[in-house]
C-alpha cells in the first residue's frame, strides 16, 4: 500500500503531481487516482481500499477543491 493518499481537485492536478513527485523523491509511496487506478477495476472500491491502506491522507486544499463533490 501507499504511504500517502493525495486527494485533489482536477483544477489542481499540476500542483498535486508536483507534490507527489517531491514526496516520491524523498522515498514516499504516493497514491493518486490518475496514476494508480487500474482501468478494469471498480474505481470506487479501489479508492476506498487505497484510503484504508495509506499511512497518511493528504488533501490539497484550494478554492476549487472545497467546492468539489469528489474531494470529500
Alpha helices (runs of H) in the chain, residue ranges in sequence order: 13-25, 33-36, 43-53
- The mean pLDDT of 16-34, rounded to a whole number, is 92
User: Is this structure's pTM higher than 0.75?
Assistant: yes
pLDDT at 19: 95
Confidence of residue 47 (pLDDT cuts 50, 70, 90): confident
d(CA 37, CA 71): 16
Around Cβ 12, how many Cβ atoms within 10 Å? 19
pLDDT at 72: 65
pLDDT at 33: 78
Amino acid at each position: 500500500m501507499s504511504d500517502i493518499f493525495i486527494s485533489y481537485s482536477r483544477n489542481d492536478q499540476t500542483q498535486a503531481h508536483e507534490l507527489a513527485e517531491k514526496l516520491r523523491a524523498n522515498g514516499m509511496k504516493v497514491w493518486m487516482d490518475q496514476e494508480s487506478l487500474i482501468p478494469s477495476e471498480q474505481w470506487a472500491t479501489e479508492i476506498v481500499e487505497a484510503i484504508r491502506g495509506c499511512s497518511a491522507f493528504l488533501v490539497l486544499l484550494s478554492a476549487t477543491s472545497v467546492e468539489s463533490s469528489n474531494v470529500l
